[in-house]
Amino acid sequence: MSWPRMGGVGTLSRIVRAVAAAAIIGVGALAVAGCGFQPLYGPTASGQQLSDVMKSVEITTIPGRAGQLIRNELIFRTTGGGYGEKPRYRLEIALKESVMRTLVNREGDAQGEIYQIYSSYKLIRLGDNQVVQEGHSNARAAYDRNDSIFSDIRASRDGQERAARTIAETIRTRIASYLATNA
């Protein structure tokens, strides 16, 4: 008696590899399931949706144009453009800005600049005014200097906006990871 051929040794080898890969994925999934891993955008530890908990974060006013950009971006990213809920947390952010000149030519004029923002933040639970999370975030955005004054100002503002978006996204992600497991 002979076995029917279904494509030769190559097909059998692919089937064995597929079954082995599925077994490894299954074992990996079982290992992760018991280790406390929790998806960031699923329900929080208390069973609420993370998006609802994020809406309860009040973001205080941050001085300066960069502060306004970061605050507006955080409000949009935490509420989704809608209204916030009754605040349970307060987010306080302090900024330090600087500009570093790069690509200096022989005359001493900079042809490029790097806009830098250094931020520190505190997430405060409003019930007992306890700091539940704090951290730092930094961002840099490079831009070219131009002979045109308008172009130079626009490039500088664009760099500031890019750095502010980076800071806002970093802080939002860190707060979301904290609230997903502790709210």
What's this model's pTM, rounded to 2 decimal places?
Answer: 0.73
Identify the residue whose tokens are 């906006």: 161
Q: For the domain 50-182, what is the CATH code?
A: 3.30.160.150
Helix, strand, coil shares of the chain, percent, nearest 5, are: 45, 30, 30
Please state, in angstroms and as integers, the Cα–Cα distance from residue 103 to each residue in 73, 142, 155, following that order: 31, 11, 16
pLDDT, mean of each 10-residue run, the chain (183 residues): 55 71 65 55 72 89 95 91 85 94 76 92 94 94 86 90 95 91 80
pLDDT at position 5? 55
Secondary structure (3-state) at 44: coil
Contact between 87 and 55 under an 8 Å Cβ cutoff? The reply is no
Buried b (16+ CB within 10 A) or exposed e, 93-114: bebebeeeeeeeeeeeeeeebe
Report DSSP state, residue 84: -
